[in-house]
Amino acid sequence: MAYWLMKSEPSVFSIDNLKARPRQTAHWDGVRNYQARNYMRDGMKKGDKVFFYHSSCPEPGIVGVAQVAREAYPDHTAFDPQDAHYDPKSDPNNPAWLMVDVKLVRKFQRVIALDKLKAEPRLDGFILLRRGNRLSVMPVSDEHWHVVLDLV
């Protein structure tokens, strides 16, 4: 099993939105970065654990855990001109963009705030904390996964 972190703006899709879904499962669409797409395509496997991270909000941080419920498949939003994630260059016969399905495992009682993560010396090298990192999907090492869980 591998560990991952996926970012979402809570004003777009929050952990509470995931919790409210049937079977607490939803597709993770709209990823439009090739490296993040490649992580989903080449790395994410059914059953892998995922930190759910709220970004671009008053208190950014890790808010819970999900798991991959379905491995990467074509992101249909890329083909829909009415969708905010539409990509006119994306070809349904050779899709450029993929998504995975995630299922809620648990919502934390409090946010593990970005400031707290930055202050934790055991998280040295955690990809989320790298300067300039803007990836919405990223791997998490076993060590960092367990350190973050210690902070819950």
> What pTM, to 2 d.p., does this model score?
0.94
Q: Is 149 exposed, middle or buried (0-12, 13-18, 19+ CB in 10 A)?
A: middle
Closest CA to 3 of 133, 143, 128, 139: 139
Indicate the domain borders of the chain. Answer: 3-150
Local mean pLDDT, 10-residue blocks, the chain (152 residues): 97 97 95 96 98 97 98 97 94 95 98 97 96 92 98 96
Structurally, at CATH architecture level, domain 3-150 sits in Roll (3.10)
